[in-house]
Amino acid sequence: MIQLEDKIISLDIFEKHFVCDLNACKGACCVEGDSGAPLLEEEQAILQKIYDKVKPYMRKEGVDVVEKEGVAVIDSDGDLTTNLVNNKECSFVIYENGIAKCSVEKAHNEGVINFRKPISCHLFPIRIKEYRDFEAINYEKIKICKPACECGSKLKIPLFVFLKEPLIRKYGEAWYEELLKVNSLLKNQDN
């Protein structure tokens, strides 16, 4: 583990290689698991505010769930998450050429909204756990991401490099620059 400010970072963030391979996994991270995407309270408020603009991009099943239950629920672990359709896929999932994608992100990419998607989705497979005095930044290794690990290994792209944009979105450019310095120190230590 490495500490950077009040963040405790797993070495996996530096050591694991990762590049999403949607053609192989088909966007399984949006449909696998026992809960929807973890949300921050402010993201729930944003989703409520932009829902009418995102709705035209959603599937009927997702719209039905959101209109019945709202944009978020408290899951069985007590966490705030997006809703699920049929207890399986995120209510905001759409399918394009057999690949699960995000209707919120599609609306963003088309310039309809400014919010890209929940930070937990953008950072995946990094998971952040907030504690009273620090945040833990960990890599969540799951079998559906095996193609991404293979692709990342082939291309020699570390997880923190692949997730540069969402890490900067979450913690800022200066923090990411410090992360790069930590990586250099770790590399020098190995040599």
Domain containing 30 equals 26-115
- Residue 72 in this model has a pLDDT that exceeds 70: yes
pTM, to two decimals:
0.89
Whether residue 9 contacts residue 139, with contact meaning beta carbons closer than 8 Å, is answered with no
Instruction: Judge if 6 and 52 occupy the same domain.
Output: no
Neighbouring residues of 185: CB distance < 8 A, sequence distance ≥ 6? none
User: Cα angle at 110 between 104 and 112, to 5 degrees?
Assistant: 70
Does residue 136 belong to any structural domain of this protein?
yes
pLDDT of residue 14: 94
pLDDT of residue 190: 65
Does residue 143 belong to any structural domain of this protein?
yes
Instruction: Judge if 70 and 109 occupy the same domain.
Output: yes
- Residue 91 in this model has a pLDDT that exceeds 80: yes
Instruction: Judge if 36 and 105 occupy the same domain.
Output: yes
Boundary-marking domain end, from 115, 147, 181:
115
Strand partners, 174: none
Does residue 120 belong to any structural domain of this protein?
no
Boundary-marking domain end, from 52, 82, 115:
115
Does residue 59 belong to any structural domain of this protein?
yes
For the stretch 106-138, pLDDT in tens is: 999 999 999 999 999 999 999 999 899 999 999
Provide the terminal-to-terminal Cα distance of the chain, rounded to the nearest Å.
Answer: 19
Name which residue leads in pLDDT, 34 or 146.
146
For the stretch 17-62, pLDDT in tens is: 999 998 888 988 888 878 889 999 999 999 999 999 999 999 999 9
Boundary-marking domain end, from 97, 115, 133:
115
Instruction: Judge if 140 and 66 occupy the same domain.
Output: no
pLDDT of residue 135: 93
Q: Is residue 134 helix, strand or coil?
A: coil
Instruction: Judge if 4 and 59 occupy the same domain.
Output: no
Place of tokens 């408020």: 45
Alpha helices in 36-102 (DSSP H): 41-54, 60-69
Amino acid at position 36, single letter? G
Instruction: Judge if 107 and 37 occupy the same domain.
Output: yes
Nearest to 167 by CA among 66, 42, 18, 45: 18
Q: Is residue 20 helix, strand or coil?
A: coil
Nearest to 27 by CA among 117, 114, 112: 117
Does residue 52 belong to any structural domain of this protein?
yes
pLDDT of residue 186: 85
Whether residue 162 contacts residue 19, with contact meaning beta carbons closer than 8 Å, is answered with yes
Instruction: Judge if 166 and 147 occupy the same domain.
Output: yes
pLDDT of residue 4: 86
* Residue 187: band (very low, low, confident or very high) from pLDDT cuts 50, 70, 90: confident
- Average pLDDT over the chain reads 92
Does residue 4 belong to any structural domain of this protein?
yes
d(CA 63, CA 4): 41
* Residue 191: band (very low, low, confident or very high) from pLDDT cuts 50, 70, 90: low
- Residue 158 in this model has a pLDDT that exceeds 90: yes
Does residue 82 belong to any structural domain of this protein?
yes
Does residue 35 belong to any structural domain of this protein?
yes
Instruction: Judge if 32 and 108 occupy the same domain.
Output: yes
Q: How many domains does the chain have?
A: 2
Whether residue 6 contacts residue 48, with contact meaning beta carbons closer than 8 Å, is answered with no
Instruction: Judge if 134 and 153 occupy the same domain.
Output: yes
